[in-house]
Amino acid sequence: MLGIKRQQVQIDQDRNIHSKLSFYRTPPLKEISLDEFEDLAFTRIHLLRHVESAVIRSLRDEELKQFISKVEEKTLPLQTVQRGIDINYESQREKDNISHYILRLAFCRTDDLRKWFVTQETVLFRYRYLKSNKEEREALIKDLKLSYPVMTEEEKKSYFDFLKIATPQMNAIEAETEIFYKVPFEEASELVQKRIVYIRHGVAFVPQREILSIILYQFKLSLESDLQMCSKMLPKIEDDDRVSSIIRNLMNHSIETTDTAVSVSGSLSSGEVDKASAHFPLCMAHLHKKLREESHLKHGGRMQYGLFLKSIGLSLEEALVFWRQAFSRKITDDGFQKNYAYNIRHNYGQEGKRVSYPGYNCLKIITSNSPSAGDHHGCPFKHFGADSLRENLSRYRLPNSLSPLLNPVQVEELMGLAQKNHFQIACTRLLEYSRNEDNLETVINPAQFYELSKTSTLKK
Report the b/e string of 116-138 with b at 16+ CB within 10 A.
ebbebbbbbbbbbbebbeeebbe
* Residue in 67, 101, 127, 449 binding ligand SF4, rule: CB under 6 A: 449
Give, to the nearest 10 degrees, the angle between helix 299-311 and helix 316-327.
Answer: 140
Residue closer to ligand SF4, measured from CB, 207 or 446: 446
Task: Write each residue from 360 to 389 as x if it is in contact with ligand SF4 (CB under 6 A), else as -, in one continuous string.
Answer: --x--x-------------xxx--------
The residue among 175, 237, 233 whose CA lies nearest residue 209 is 175
How distant, in Å, are the alpha carbons of 45, 309, 320, 353 from that of 348? 29, 11, 11, 11
Residue closer to ligand SF4, measured from CB, 144 or 443: 443
Would you say 283 is a known binding-site residue? yes
Binding positions for ligand SF4, 252-281, rule CB under 6 A: 281
* Residue in 443, 451, 452, 453 binding ligand SF4, rule: CB under 6 A: 443
Residue closer to ligand SF4, measured from CB, 140 or 393: 393
Would you say 108 is a known binding-site residue? no
- Nearest approach, Cβ of 440 to ligand SF4 (angstroms)? 12
* Residue in 166, 188, 418, 427 binding ligand SF4, rule: CB under 6 A: 427
Residue closer to ligand SF4, measured from CB, 180 or 449: 449
Q: Does 323 bind ligand SF4 (CB under 6 A)?
A: no
- Nearest approach, Cβ of 443 to ligand SF4 (angstroms)? 5
Helices (H), 262-400: 273-276, 282-294, 299-311, 316-327, 333-336, 342-347, 362-367, 380-383, 386-395
| Listed ranges 30-38, 118-126, 236-244, 423-431: which one lies at the site for ligand SF4 (CB under 6 A) | 423-431
Residue 141, amino acid:
I
Give, to the nearest 10 degrees, the angle between helix 34-56 and helix 423-435.
Answer: 70
Q: Does 217 bind ligand SF4 (CB under 6 A)?
A: no
How distant, in Å, are the alpha carbons of 13, 42, 43, 334, 424 from that of 249? 31, 11, 15, 43, 22
- Nearest approach, Cβ of 370 to ligand SF4 (angstroms)? 13
Residue closer to ligand SF4, measured from CB, 214 or 411: 411
DSSP codes, 327-355: HTTTS-HHHHIIIIIHHHHHHBTSSTT--
CA distance 263 to 311: 9
CA angle (414, 415, 421) in 5-degree steps: 90
Give, to the nearest 10 degrees, the angle between helix 34-56 and helix 111-131.
Answer: 80
Task: Write each residue from 280 to 319 as x if it is in contact with ligand SF4 (CB under 6 A), else as -, in one continuous string.
Answer: -xxx------------------------------------
DSSP codes, 120-186: HHHHHHHHHHHHS-HHHHHHHHHHHT--PPBPPHHHHHHHHHHHHHH-TTS-HHHHHH--EEEEEGG
Residue 271, amino acid:
G
Residue closer to ligand SF4, measured from CB, 214 or 447: 447
Q: Does 423 bind ligand SF4 (CB under 6 A)?
A: yes
User: What is residue 195's three-state secondary structure?
Assistant: coil
* Residue in 446, 451, 453, 454 binding ligand SF4, rule: CB under 6 A: 446
Q: Does 40 bind ligand SF4 (CB under 6 A)?
A: no
User: What is residue 209's three-state secondary structure?
Assistant: helix
Number of residues that bind ligand SF4 (CB under 6 A): 14
Phi, psi of 142 (to 5 degrees): -65, -45
Residue closer to ligand SF4, measured from CB, 67 or 396: 396
Contact between residue 210 and residue 108 where contact means Cβ atoms under 8 Å apart: no
- Nearest approach, Cβ of 381 to ligand SF4 (angstroms)? 5
Residue closer to ligand SF4, measured from CB, 348 or 360: 360
Residue closer to ligand SF4, measured from CB, 320 or 452: 452
- Nearest approach, Cβ of 379 to ligand SF4 (angstroms)? 3
200 pairs with which residues across the strands?
203
CB-CB neighbours of 7 under 10 Å? 18
- Nearest approach, Cβ of 365 to ligand SF4 (angstroms)? 4
Residue closer to ligand SF4, measured from CB, 125 or 423: 423
Residue 108, amino acid:
C
- Nearest approach, Cβ of 137 to ligand SF4 (angstroms)? 38
Would you say 427 is a known binding-site residue? yes
Residue ranges of the binding site for [4Fe-4S] cluster? 283, 362, 379, 427
Interface residue list for ligand SF4 (CB under 6 A): 281-283, 362, 365, 379-381, 423-424, 427, 443, 446, 449
Residue ranges of the binding site? 283, 362, 379, 427
